[in-house]
Amino acid sequence: MRLRSAALAAVVCVGCLAPARAANVSLEGGQGVTVTSDDGDTSINLGFYAQFRFQVVKRKYLWRRSDLNQGFPPFSIENFGRAEPSFQVRRARLIAQGTILKKWFNYKVEVDFAGNDEGLRRVFIPPVFTVGGASDFPGVDIIAGANDQDGRSLKLLDAYADFTPKAYARFRAGQFKVPFGRQELVSDNKLQMTQRSIASDFFAPGRDRGFMFHGGTDTQRVQYKLGAFNGTGLTTAQNLDTSLAYAARISMTTSGPFLDIEDVVDQPPSMGVRVQGGLAWYTSTDTPVRANPQIPESDIRNTRYEADLGLFFGQRGNLVMDYYTRRYSVDQTFDLPSSCYGAFIQGRFSCDQSGYTVQGGVLVDRKRNQELSLRYSALDYDRDLDDDRSTESTLNYTYYMFRHTLQISAAVSYFEIGRNAAGSSAFAVKSANPTADFFDPASFSPALTDDKNWLGVIQLQWTF
């Protein structure tokens, strides 16, 4: 209902600018429809973009238990490696943005029509016992969500007001991206490849609800962002503990402003050679709500840092690098995330993680409509644990038929996920069998190996 109201309000705003005598209307491919009042102080731009994808995931290893009757190690396992073809509408987004009454009073609303379900839904029907103690009904645990996502949930992504009266003093409130992670801050339809790196997806907080002070010098060669957020992302509507999350980012360029872009085709022809970089910090403390009142409350402290550097060479090419680090520290080991499962087994109360991405691209023809890009990204889920790294190597080709208005990309990626890394099939088999020694290869026969996956993607992007 709230989303329908937001969409209706956007339509009403367009109507508020009527009649046509009091407004100017423009339509441009890839830029949407813009309606502006005569004085230029009130405007609305309506845009839309969608990404249609065909992909094939080739899993060389997909480990499963082969004999569920075995109660003690070594457990017999089998490899069910397979190829998984899939058609997807990866994104379908409607964006309304503009100004109200003053050019420094900005707003933005972004809705995704192809967002996945936001959470796992679980219902437990308890058993029914007779007077004699026998069970007439054993009970049923019904789970729906992660395995049943159909991609049809309407999801509100951005909804904020941005007050920008001075270059050095601006204020934003609402729901928007936390200023952490260079690649995360690039719009999805302006990414150099069909998806972000594994390091960006793992470390960037994404969107959250809160407020942010931001600004910079007159030339915007130096910019800052400082904000406070719920710390829950979009998973819950409100914060349920006593603390907030805080984020800060500072960026600098040899010629301003800082460009949140990746595609070489988006680099201004007059830009020349440019160097830009940034530093970011994010911290949050979560106090989970205990379903069992006998379990004491405790905190999960999560602190992250990020550094990025970008080299831009006009409309010829670019090279961007990102480095991330994060530390989890807890009062109870069972509060560690699944990515720190090794620390939980070893009885450690902290877990240090790191990752990085190196990515670059070049325009390969004189018409400047074909781009070739390469990326390597790596994750270390726990620096004190072996065989828990994940790596990604991606080669991407993009043909811009009409720049971002219509573009097609083809990419091939190779992923290697360590046997002790969360997300690998080896990790799933090992963590599901508590009677086995998690770190002992002899607990399973044959010995578990790293996952080795290939991903092939063909994606068409259309922007209105």
Q: Is 6 helix (H, G, I), strand (E, B) or coil?
A: helix
What DSSP assignment string belongs to 106-139?
A: EEEEEEEEEEPP-S-EEEEE--EE-TTS-EEE--
| Per-position pLDDT tens, the chain of length 464 | 444 444 444 444 444 444 444 679 988 888 899 999 988 899 999 999 999 999 999 999 999 999 888 888 899 999 999 999 999 999 999 999 999 999 999 999 999 988 765 555 555 555 655 555 544 555 565 555 555 555 556 789 999 999 999 999 999 999 999 999 999 999 999 999 999 999 999 999 999 999 999 999 999 999 999 999 999 998 888 888 889 999 999 999 998 788 888 988 888 877 788 999 999 999 999 998 887 778 888 999 999 999 999 999 988 899 999 999 999 999 999 999 999 999 999 999 999 999 999 999 999 987 889 999 999 999 999 999 999 999 999 999 999 998 889 999 999 999 999 999 998 999 999 888 888 888 888 899 999 999 999 999 999 999 99
CA distance 389 to 422: 9
Task: Give the amino acid at 35.
Answer: V
Burial of 242 (0-12, 13-18, 19+ CB in 10 A): exposed
What whole-number distance in Å separates Cα of residue 325 and Cα of residue 281?
Answer: 10
How many other CB atoms sit within 10 Å of the CB of residue 392? Answer: 22
* CA 297 to centroid of chain Cα atoms: 29
Residue type, 374: L
What pLDDT, on a 0 to 100 scale, did the predictor assign at position 315?
Answer: 82
H or E element, residue 96? strand 82-100
The DSSP bridge partners found for residue 51 are 91, 461
Question: What residues have CB less than 8 Å from 324, skipping those under 6 apart?
Answer: 181, 199, 202, 203, 304, 305, 306, 354, 355, 356
Contact between 360 and 318 under an 8 Å Cβ cutoff? The reply is: yes
Please tell me whether the overall predicted TM-score, pTM, comes out greater than 0.85 for this model.
yes
Nearest to 286 by CA among 219, 376, 205: 205
Tally of CB atoms within 10 A around 426 = 24
Query: Mean pLDDT of all residues in the chain?
Result: 87
Contact at 8 Å (CB) between 24 and 35? yes
Which pairing describes strands 75-79 and 82-100: parallel, antiparallel, or unpaired? unpaired
Distance CA 190, CA 180 (A): 18
CA distance 119 to 235: 7
Helix (H, G, I), strand (E, B) or coil at 21: helix
Residues in Cβ contact with 79 at an 8 Å cutoff, skipping those fewer than 6 apart: 61, 62, 63, 64
Sign of CA dihedral 195, 198, 312, 224: positive
Question: Do 139 and 124 contact (CB within 8 A), yes or no?
Answer: yes
Q: Identify the burial level of 457 via C-beta atoms within 10 angstroms of its C-beta, where 0-12 means exposed, 13-18 middle and 19 or more buried.
A: buried
Q: What are phi and psi of 447, to 5 degrees?
A: -65, 140
Instruction: Tell me which amino acid residue 384 is.
Output: D
**Secondary-structure breakdown of the chain: helix, strand, coil percentages, each rounded to the nearest 5:** 10, 50, 35
Name the residue among 171, 169, 174 with its Cα closest to residue 159.
174
CA distance 378 to 44: 41
Question: Domains of the chain by range and CATH?
Answer: 48-108+157-463 (2.40.160.10), 117-150 (no CATH)
449 burial via Cβ count (<10 Å: 0-12, 13-18, 19+)? middle
pLDDT per position as a tens digit, 242-256: 899 999 999 999 987
Give the Cα separation of 209 and 232 in Å (integer): 8
